[in-house]
A and B are shown apart, each in its own frame.
Chain A
Amino acid sequence: MIEAVIFPLIKIVIVFAAVLVAVMYVVLLERKVQAWVQVRLGPMRVGPHGLLQPIADALKLFVKEDITPVRADKWVFTAAPVIVLVPALIAFAVIPFANQLSLFGYTIPGRVADVNVGLLYIVSVASIGIYGIILGGWSSNSKYPLLASLRASAQLISYEIAVTMTLVTVIMLAGTLSMVGIVNAQLAKGWWFAFAQPVAFFIYFVGGLAETNRAPFDLPEAEQELVGGFHTEYSGMRFAFFFLAEYANMIVVSSVATTLFFGGWLAPFPNVSWLSWLGYIPGWAWFGIKTFVFLYVFLWVRATLPRYRYDQLMRLGWKWLIPLAILNVVVTGFLKVLL
């Protein structure tokens, strides 16, 4: 009884809280990393080195006036930010942070749930998030946010295809759709799938950048764009939801990349004897480190690259990434049969 109900509940609360705190601090991390790349310091005033900045931002967004456009569709206008945020958060239900944790005599699996179709669950949940973007633009009852939101969602749908194709190759190698199963397959095979499937990893990462509307694919929400983007009419807490959802999506993409391609909670070099001390670092710490590395690369890319124009972006996704991903599937299939 306890194990079946109470532990998952506690885990849900912990994961939820951890993700929200992580999202807030990723925002600060982005400002700091961008600042240091650009020869400046970033937030420094609120707390030591700006560490309390996210709390100040959260407070500000809480107390801001909630403006609803007069002719906006009230229900949809309220629902849109929720529809964007919830999928980003519930995707964490199947991500394995560690193998087994032994606490107070119980062995607790290091994940909220192990669904046998875990990987597809994450993809399907992400596709629901697209509704929030479309509805956010539409419910503002203004033609520019509507057009911007439709473009953003078209971008998301296009890159979803390429990303899903790369996940197919991972499934082919692992033989299972369960996230835990994929990590265990990497343990069994002795090498991480990033080295077995470098093309898939590359496409996944580029697709992940496009899925989360990050540079260089962030034209739909760029300040230099003509239209204000799909969240123009949102202010206060509602805007905060869109904002949080984007960063939560970033963390989801990074976590999934870690789990699928970089061994999840596994320590690197398990077979090298003089590096066996790496095994003493707990699994969840490895997971955290690897996810952090991916997040850092997200931020790094944003600070460095200019942004693609929308038609170039779509051309890249449809004419380059999707054929490459499909080719990758075919080649993997051949190799799997031959070897």
Chain B
Amino acid sequence: MSHVPVQTDAPRPMFDTDELVINMGPQHPSTHGVLRLVLRLDGEKVIDADIVIGYLHRGIEKLCENRDWTQIVLLTDRMDYVAAATNNLGYVETVEKLYSIEVPRRARYIRTLLSELQRVASHLVWLGTHAMDIGAVTVFLFCLRERELVLDLLEEYCGARLTLNSMRVGGQPFDLPPDWAKKVLAFCDIQDRKLPEYEHLLTQNRIWLERTRNIGVISAAEAIGIGLCGPPLRASGVNRDVRKDEPYAAYSEFEFDIPIGTRGDTYDRYLVRLEEIRQSLRIIRQAVAGLPEGPVMAKVPRLIKPPAGETYHAIEAPKGELGYFIASDGKSVSPYRFRVRPPSFCNLQALPRLVKGHLVADVVALIGTIDIVLGEVDR
């Protein structure tokens, strides 16, 4: 990207209006992590945005080549640290695919429960931070209040709130604590009562509508062309959800809808994610109701050594399609190659296209609407 001002033969305007280059980040309250944006402005309008990432790169993929297959679960937690359970799930399912392990049904139900609880928590964080960036600070506190309930549930299950380490290759490490399922249902009821509160503050609010309607519009064709995934893709009208298209865990046994947007603007992405929370609660209730008895762990050897080969497996994380590509050489206790396809990284590529033509104040709303976590983007 060149920073040379454009020379033209047009008559020079009365006021000196060169392009302004502004740097946003990496330390900035609204970039949701250590993201750096270099914006080129013409007055208030953004002409171009250059994204600089890598400030949170920890070499996770390389680290995984020196850990054994069970230890890697810990590392996956730390990529999308807001939604650790889905990271775990993607990884263990990929290894199980490579190993051809059949996971017991109870374990699959528990995995689904954890994933959907995590989806609710992740979307609540998203809603809170997005609303706070646009100025509605109270919504942030309300959403985090409900997220605390989810984190309490997760802590009761696996002992940790954020970096869960809640799944293993072949099943689950622990069975559900007593009464856990009842508490999950109680949480669902509470969340169902609180969602209208958030909607009351935002959905029909004139200021919210003015800040999000027709901001960052992406058509369905463009979305597919850029490679978007997850809620941004669905808000643009494309019916693609890995849970429906290529079901994994126990999703094929549940009934749920996929919210699809029409306009592909920030408001639609807000509505889509809000509806996804409701659908997640629906799945959770069905899972708790139909929880089968049985073992939670398959017969897996002590030292996991998948046969040589490579595979790719994707799941629907809260932020989009999370894919793992794992190559094993059959001999060592570590993967030969561990590669993640993070949804935030792919969605972030849409940002320059989104901000073009909008005002500086919209940039913050647009970063929020893609829902990125730098841990995932940088790994």
Chain A residues proximal to chain B, CB less than 8 Å: 34, 37-40, 215-216, 218-219, 222-226, 303-312
Q: Identify which of A39, A307, A312 contacts B141 (C-beta below 8 A).
A: A39
> Whole-angstrom distance between the alpha carbons of A224 and B360 in the complex?
11
The answer to whether A223 touches B362, judged by C-beta atoms less than 8 angstroms apart, is no
Residues of B19-34 whose CB lies within 8 A of A: 22, 24, 29-30
The answer to whether B201 touches A304, judged by C-beta atoms less than 8 angstroms apart, is yes
Which of B50-58, B128-136, B315-323 is the contact stretch?
B128-136
Residues of B200-245 whose CB lies within 8 A of A: 201-202, 205, 207-208, 210-211
| Most central of B137, B202, B205, B363 by chain A CB within 10 Å | B137
The answer to whether B360 touches A38, judged by C-beta atoms less than 8 angstroms apart, is no
CB distance from B134 to the nearest CB of A (A): 5
Contacts of B137 in A (CB 8 A): 34, 38, 303
Q: Identify which of B22, B30, B138, B207 contacts A224 (C-beta below 8 A).
A: B30
CB distance from B199 to the nearest CB of A (A): 14
Contacts of B253 in A (CB 8 A): none
CB distance from A328 to the nearest CB of B (A): 21
Contacts of B29 in A (CB 8 A): 223-224
Nearest-CB residue, chain A, relative to B364: A224
**Interface SS of chain B: helix, strand, loop or mixed?**
helix
User: Does any Cβ of A come within 8 Å of B190's Cβ?
Assistant: no
Contacts of B202 in A (CB 8 A): 306
Nearest-CB residue, chain A, relative to B141: A38
Contacts of A38 in B (CB 8 A): 137-138, 140-142
Contacts of A306 in B (CB 8 A): 131, 134-136, 202, 205, 207-208, 211
User: Does any Cβ of A come within 8 Å of B192's Cβ?
Assistant: no
Contacts of B132 in A (CB 8 A): 224
The answer to whether A224 touches B133, judged by C-beta atoms less than 8 angstroms apart, is yes
The answer to whether B136 touches A309, judged by C-beta atoms less than 8 angstroms apart, is no
Contacts of B22 in A (CB 8 A): 226
Contacts of A305 in B (CB 8 A): 135-136, 205, 207
User: Does any Cβ of A come within 8 Å of B361's Cβ?
Assistant: yes
> Whole-angstrom distance between the alpha carbons of A304 and B364 in the complex?
19
Closest 5 CB pairs of A and B: A307-B135, A38-B141, A306-B135, A306-B136, A309-B361
Contacts of B364 in A (CB 8 A): 224
Contacts of B44 in A (CB 8 A): 310-311
Contacts of B207 in A (CB 8 A): 216, 305-308
> Whole-angstrom distance between the alpha carbons of A245 and B46 in the complex?
33
Nearest-CB residue, chain A, relative to B134: A306
A309 touching B210 in the complex, CB below 8 Å, given contacts A216-B135, A224-B133: yes
User: Does any Cβ of A come within 8 Å of B288's Cβ?
Assistant: no
The answer to whether B138 touches A303, judged by C-beta atoms less than 8 angstroms apart, is yes
User: Does any Cβ of A come within 8 Å of B145's Cβ?
Assistant: yes
User: Does any Cβ of A come within 8 Å of B274's Cβ?
Assistant: no
Chain B residues proximal to chain A, CB less than 8 Å: 22, 24, 29-30, 44, 131-138, 140-142, 145, 201-202, 205, 207-208, 210-211, 359-364
Contacts of A219 in B (CB 8 A): 361
The answer to whether A39 touches B131, judged by C-beta atoms less than 8 angstroms apart, is no
The answer to whether B145 touches A312, judged by C-beta atoms less than 8 angstroms apart, is no
Contacts of B362 in A (CB 8 A): 309
The answer to whether A310 touches B138, judged by C-beta atoms less than 8 angstroms apart, is no
> Whole-angstrom distance between the alpha carbons of A99 and B109 in the complex?
74
CB distance from A9 to the nearest CB of B (A): 43
The answer to whether B142 touches A222, judged by C-beta atoms less than 8 angstroms apart, is no
> Whole-angstrom distance between the alpha carbons of A222 and B364 in the complex?
12
Nearest-CB residue, chain B, relative to A316: B210
Q: Identify which of B24, B30, B131, B210 contacts A308 (C-beta below 8 A).
A: B210
> Whole-angstrom distance between the alpha carbons of A83 and B328 in the complex?
71
CB distance from A8 to the nearest CB of B (A): 43
> Whole-angstrom distance between the alpha carbons of A219 and B359 in the complex?
13
> Whole-angstrom distance between the alpha carbons of A310 and B362 in the complex?
10
A39 touching B134 in the complex, CB below 8 Å, given contacts A219-B361, A224-B29: no
Nearest-CB residue, chain A, relative to B139: A306
Nearest-CB residue, chain A, relative to B202: A306
Nearest-CB residue, chain B, relative to A226: B360
Contacts of B359 in A (CB 8 A): 309-311
CB distance from A242 to the nearest CB of B (A): 20
Contacts of A223 in B (CB 8 A): 29
The answer to whether A304 touches B360, judged by C-beta atoms less than 8 angstroms apart, is no
Known: A37-B138, A304-B138, A304-B201. 10 other contacts (CB 8 A): A34-B137, A39-B145, A219-B361, A303-B137, A305-B135, A306-B134, A306-B208, A309-B359, A311-B44, A312-B210
Nearest-CB residue, chain B, relative to A302: B137
Q: Jot down 30 A-B pairs with beta carbons below 8 A, ordered by A.
A: A34-B137, A34-B138, A38-B140, A38-B141, A39-B141, A218-B135, A219-B361, A223-B29, A224-B30, A224-B133, A226-B22, A226-B24, A226-B360, A303-B138, A304-B136, A305-B205, A305-B207, A306-B134, A306-B135, A306-B136, A306-B202, A306-B207, A307-B134, A307-B207, A308-B210, A308-B211, A309-B210, A309-B359, A310-B44, A312-B211
Contacts of A215 in B (CB 8 A): 135
Contacts of B134 in A (CB 8 A): 306-307
Nearest-CB residue, chain B, relative to A215: B135
Contacts of B141 in A (CB 8 A): 38-40
> Whole-angstrom distance between the alpha carbons of A306 and B136 in the complex?
4
CB distance from B187 to the nearest CB of A (A): 17
CB distance from A228 to the nearest CB of B (A): 11
> Whole-angstrom distance between the alpha carbons of A39 and B142 in the complex?
7
> Whole-angstrom distance between the alpha carbons of A223 and B363 in the complex?
14
> Whole-angstrom distance between the alpha carbons of A132 and B24 in the complex?
27
Contacts of B135 in A (CB 8 A): 215-216, 218, 222, 224, 305-307
CB distance from A88 to the nearest CB of B (A): 24
> Whole-angstrom distance between the alpha carbons of A37 and B202 in the complex?
16
Contacts of A304 in B (CB 8 A): 136, 138, 201
CB distance from A316 to the nearest CB of B (A): 9
A309 touching B145 in the complex, CB below 8 Å, given contacts A224-B364, A225-B361: no
Contacts of B201 in A (CB 8 A): 304
